[in-house]
Amino acid sequence: MTQKEFQTQINDLLKQARQDQAPDWQVKYLGKKGLFKQLSATIKDISDKKAAGQLLNQLKKDLEMLATQKSQAGTPTQESIDYTLPASDEPIGHLHPISQATEKIVSIFAELGFVRVRHPELDDDENVFGRLNMSPGHPARDEWETFFVAHPGKPGKNKIRWVMTPHTSNGQVHEMMRLRQPPIRMINITRTYRRQQDVTHTQMFHQFEGLMVDRDVNITHLKGVLDYFAREFYGPGTKSRIRPFHFQFTEPSFEIDFSCHLCGGTGKLPNGDKCKFCKSGWHEVGGAGMVHPNVLTACGLDPQEYSGFAFGWGIERTYTLQDHIQIDDIRDFYNGNLKFLQQF
Ligand code: FA5
């Protein structure tokens, strides 16, 4: 190697060392097997060893000075921080999906003049069953798989059983007895409780109950309200369907279905395949009917003068109908699984 080539190598090494931000800078350039040592070893190929030695001495001093400067500016292993940069966004949480759905349901029905009310979750047996046309011992009560609680103020033989409401229909009773005077348009949304627990049922869930009572209210009004809700909640084109059913507190009674928005209620996808999301074109959501005359009477309204409709279904269920949301187990709403909740 010529003296000139050696000088070029020294210059190149110094230039590289100045720009280098490697975390192991000290080891890389001044370590036992570092680049300075490697370059020093090539001195044997140079004729003027004295001049080459002087160049190497100077290079070592330059590298040591650089090492001091770099350690004063912050060791290369430390990440440099620019305090003038804008702060990174912290992840922000959101309302629980049940609260989000509750807000949406309330605002949809508010457009139709329905007012949100909340009636007790722990209630008298008479409001949950008796005034809803289910006298003590009536077999229809069994369908509600109810939790009962002893009344704290009534010990002894005559103690009254309180009911953890298994549905929001007690809200109908409270609202009619509270107002006494139609028109009544309420949405009662609360927690409800049943002795049920599996992938599609939770012991605590949420229901919402609609009630409208006035003169000349009939089934077409109910159907119009259900269609309006279907459109507003699930999107344009969604329709409702009512099928005959039996509830003790409505006559006639119906089950409510909403058309599947993936296949438009046909059960078939555009490519001719069966819709796997709904299978039949429809999703069942809850119950409805015309308020039974016995219920109107028990709540102080004259069935000759007034009529009304009521409907109710589970809020958790409204989500299982949305195809972009993955719900394998309805209990995930309440087990604090963030991965599940972040979908909403
Ligand atoms: C009722 O509870 C009636 N009160 C509905 C009603 C209101 C009928 C007004 C007529 C007039 P049902 O037992 O079918 O009906 O429950 C209604 C909905 O609540 C179900 O379709 C389902 O969406 C939801 N639901 C019931 N039990 C559970 C549970 N354990 N977990 C989650 N959701 C449930």
Strand 184-193 with 115-117, pairing: parallel
In this structure, which amino acid lies at residue 89? Answer: D
Please tell me the residue having the least CA distance from ligand 1 atom 18: 313
254 CB within 6 A, ligand 1? no
Structure tokens that stand for 142 in this block: 């069994």
> pLDDT tens track of the chain, all 344 residues?
788 888 899 999 999 998 898 888 989 999 999 999 999 999 888 888 888 888 999 999 999 988 888 777 765 445 567 788 888 778 888 999 999 999 999 999 999 999 999 888 999 999 999 999 998 888 888 888 999 988 766 666 556 678 999 999 999 999 999 999 999 999 999 999 999 999 989 999 999 999 999 999 999 999 999 999 999 998 898 999 999 999 999 999 999 999 988 888 888 888 888 887 787 899 888 999 999 999 999 999 999 999 999 999 999 988 877 767 778 889 999 998 888 888 88
Atom of ligand 1 nearest to the CA of 167: 2
> 329 CA distance to ligand 1 centroid (A)?
18
What's the pTM?
Answer: 0.75
DSSP line for 269-336: -TTSPBPTTTSSSEEEEEEEEEEPHHHHHHTT--TTT-EEEEEEEEHHHHHHT-TTS--S-GGGGGTT
Domains of the chain: 3-72 (no CATH), 97-338 (3.30.930.10)
With CA atoms as reference, report the closest residue to 189 among 114, 239, 124: 114
In this structure, which amino acid lies at residue 141? Answer: R
287 CB within 6 A, ligand 1? yes
